[in-house]
């Protein structure tokens, strides 16, 4: 397993993967050593993340290989269907999966998403519209949702 660390507007991003694909993308505020060079296997994902943060990318297309249970994989596949700039509730996901009572299991799988931003767990909100728990911190979730908002407020000043 190889690793690379890049900087982003939200902190340091750790990317892990091998020849089978990218298995983990995570964020941290902790001071870590940023990678001086980007190995070729990470070039595509690093470029796409940069384009996302620059506002030029709305989806990701590189080889992914996240590790998880069959149920987690199903939830993550549902997350990939959430359009850029849109949100969905945990309840809506449980209905799509055919088990409206599985809300805790869906929330748990959402929280274990290993591919930060790419599998857009930040787009899942409470059924009342509230920003619910987020492994990267609610301030990051808010930042990401604002970043993806297609109707960005223009300053009058």
Domain spans, the chain: 2-53, 70-148
Cα gap 2→23, rounded to integer Å: 10
pLDDT of 29 higher than 90: no
pLDDT of 135 higher than 60: yes
Please tell us whether the domain made up of 70-148 is placed in CATH 1.10.10.10. Answer: yes
Mean pLDDT within 41-59: 96
Query: Is-catalytic flag, 10?
Result: no
| Torsion angle of C-alpha atoms 59, 55, 122, 96, degrees rounded to 10 | -40
Cα gap 17→112, rounded to integer Å: 17
Instruction: State the catalytic residue, choosing from 88, 109, 121, 125.
Output: 121
What count of other Cβ atoms lies within 10 Å of the Cβ of residue 143?
A: 15
Provide the mean pLDDT of the chain.
Answer: 91
pTM: 0.90
Please tell us whether the domain made up of 2-53 is placed in CATH 3.30.160. Answer: yes
pLDDT confidence band for 153 (50 / 70 / 90): low
């Amino acid at each position: 397993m190889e690793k690379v660390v890049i900087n982003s507007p939200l902190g340091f991003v750790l990317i892990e993967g091998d020849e089978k694909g990218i298995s983990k993308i995570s964020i941290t505020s902790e001071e870590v050593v940023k990678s001086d060079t980007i190995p070729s296997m990470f070039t595509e994902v690093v470029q796409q993340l940069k384009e996302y943060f620059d506002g030029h990318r709305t989806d990701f297309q590189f080889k992914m290989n996240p590790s998880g249970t069959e149920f987690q994989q199903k939830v993550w596949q549902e997350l990939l269907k959430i359009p850029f700039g849109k949100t969905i509730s945990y309840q809506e996901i449980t209905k799509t999966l055919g088990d409206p009572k599985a809300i805790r299991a869906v929330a748990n799988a959402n929280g274990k998403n290993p591919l930060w931003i790419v599998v857009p767990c930040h787009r899942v909100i409470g059924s009342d519209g509230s920003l619910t728990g987020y492994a990267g911190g609610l301030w990051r979730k808010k930042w990401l949702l604002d970043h993806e908002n297609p109707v960005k407020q223009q300053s009058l000043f």
